[in-house]
Amino acid sequence: MEEIKRALKNGSIENLLNAVSSLLPPSDDVAIEIAKRGVHQYILDRRGFAMVSTNEDEYLPYLSSHEKRLTFSQLPKDVIREIDPKKILSQLYDILNTYGARNKIYREIAEKVGSILEDK
């Protein structure tokens, strides 16, 4: 939690996102949306940053998607400028609150994130 507070105080988006990533539950089904540009969605999950490209297949009624792992420095500058710390923390809070129903440790972390959101 101290990392998040320090990153918010210093305005370090990279440190904030890394701290948020470390708090996400151990599931591949959970991610925080950072931004969306056309068919590309930039997400943050427990393994770091990724770009998910979604395409509608021409002859099939299905969507296909491809994931590409990124580092913070590979994120487009306009995506970085658009990052809203409050929105990121709000998504983290919702995820942790949901997981808190299964594991109390996540509920405790969610409460701490909630108090940071109230202070912001």
Of the pLDDT bands very low, low, confident and very high (cuts 50, 70, 90), residue 113 is very high
Q: Please state, in angstroms and as integers, the Cα–Cα distance from residue 72 to each residue in 12, 60, 100, following that order.
A: 12, 35, 29
pLDDT exceeds cutoff 90 at 58 = no
Of the pLDDT bands very low, low, confident and very high (cuts 50, 70, 90), residue 96 is very high
Q: How far is CA 24 from the centre of its chain?
A: 8
Q: How is the chain split into domains, by residue range?
A: 2-119
The pTM of the full predicted model, rounded to 2 decimals, is: 0.90
Residue 17, helix vs strand vs coil: helix
The pLDDT assigned to 55 comes to 86
Of the pLDDT bands very low, low, confident and very high (cuts 50, 70, 90), residue 56 is confident
Write out pLDDT tens, residues 70-92. Answer: 999 999 999 999 999 999 999 99
Q: For all residues of the chain together, what is the average pLDDT? A: 94
